[in-house]
Amino acid sequence: LRGLVRVTRNERLAQRWIQIDLAATARADDAAVEILDLLAELIHDDGEVEIAYRAGQRYVNRLHRTTPEELPPRRQNAIRPDGSVLPYRLEIDKPGVLTDLRLNATTRRTPGPEEIEILVKAGGVNFRDVMKALGIYPGNPIDLKWFGDDVAGIVIAVGENVTTIRPGDRVGGLTAYSFRAYATLHQNLCFKLPDGISFEEAATLPTVFLTAHYAINHLARMQPGERILIHAGTGGVGQAAIQIANHLGLEIFATAGTPEKRALLRDLGAHHTFSSRTLDFADEILRITDGRGVDAVLNSLAGDFIPKNFAVLAPFGRYLEIGKIDVYKNSKIGLEPLRNNISVFVIDLGQHILEKPAYVAELFAELQEKFAQGVYRPLPRTVFPITDVVEAFRYMAAGKHVGKVVLNFDHTTLDAIPIGLNSEPGQRFR
């Protein structure tokens, strides 16, 4: 009716067309008041053409400038009536407060010719996800709002050039912003899950093994019998590095923060273990190696650990930096520690994925064979449902985890998902 009145008003400009909306009522005294309100509108013309009366109050339309944050979110059930899952992703409006993490509705993207689309079942949390959420990870402000790299799920669509993967396959892989209901992956950055590997186990593999494999085999080019120091050895990259080092026949020196974690390092195959909370490891390593030191250091620690790492590098040693704090702080190191043909590598797998995807695909192909053969195994993991993502990030930020923190995407457990507004610049009104 409102649309009809508006059209008529535009077509018959010489006539006055008014729409008055009165609340339904069964009380005689209320009806009498409404009749008086109606008569007043018909007699007095103040230019308003759409009026409503509720509980004795007169309402008219007005535009009010606002922002998406001021509007109450619309919500929709995560599981639609037809059983499909509403597209959503993990976001944060203002990095810095973990409780601002939200699951918001989004859109799906049709896979390109070389891509596949999966319904996400599990995602592995990396420390950079936590840094982004806490607002301490430098980068593009848009990039800081979304999370996830490691992912596992069920294939639901494939591009026209994909021949080895089919809808229904169980896969794990790597893609940007993977903490969402539906993720799109390049076919060269995913692998079919071997029998007996769960989605949660698969989510522990991609980033940590790619990082460790790239560092140890491609950059350091380590050979059997060489020595490597692996800091934070019970973390995800640390445990992946220990598996790779054992497979290569390296002598492994590793650090961890507690006696329990150092005992785990020995169970994993580390030959020498030290505390990651003091700098005593340097003197101990030099004592054990008769002053020579180690051939490579895989470092994720910061501050005073940096010069101590260089102090334990043997001639022709390789320094492999996977930490972020000192890099983005532009911390200084002198050239004197590099005098013995020391090589320094700063590793950012994310940049490789964006700028050298073909090379990352080669690395991934090298790892897939090892996964299939059982040479490299899934890491220990602590699993949180996606509904407890805030607690998962807090747990990882506190350094309590051993191995990986994994999110389980059981979509049936989700409450209604907020449906956000288009964030393109422009005016908004309510």
Residues with Cβ < 8 Å from 316, sequence gap 6 or more? 295, 340, 341, 342, 343
Within this chain, do residues 117 and 97 fall inside the same structural domain, yes or no? Answer: yes
- The pLDDT value recorded for residue 34 is 65
Within this chain, do residues 117 and 148 fall inside the same structural domain, yes or no? Answer: yes
- The pLDDT value recorded for residue 11 is 80
- The pLDDT value recorded for residue 31 is 61
* Domain interval for residue 109: 74-205+393-419
- The pLDDT value recorded for residue 384 is 97
- The pLDDT value recorded for residue 149 is 93
Q: What is the DSSP string of 321-355?
A: E--SHHHHTT----SGGGTTT-EEEE--HHHHHHH
Q: What's the total number of domains in the chain?
A: 3
- The pLDDT value recorded for residue 409 is 96
- The pLDDT value recorded for residue 30 is 62
Write down the pTM of the prediction. 0.77
Rg (the chain; Cα; Å)? 30
Could you tell me how many helices (H) and strands (E) the chain has, helices first?
13, 20
Q: For residues 3 and 7, what is the distance between their CA atoms, to the nearest angstrom?
A: 6
- The pLDDT value recorded for residue 357 is 84
Q: Which of 350, 328, 31, 322 is closest to 176 using CA atoms?
A: 350
Within this chain, do residues 341 and 244 fall inside the same structural domain, yes or no? Answer: yes
- The pLDDT value recorded for residue 125 is 96
Ranges of the chain with pLDDT below 70: 24-44, 55-56, 66-75, 139-142, 418-430
- Structural domain contains residue 194: yes
- Structural domain contains residue 97: yes
Within this chain, do residues 155 and 199 fall inside the same structural domain, yes or no? Answer: yes
The CATH number given to whatever domain includes residue 163 is 3.90.180.10
Mean residue pLDDT of the chain comes to: 87
- Structural domain contains residue 378: no
- Structural domain contains residue 160: yes
- Structural domain contains residue 362: no
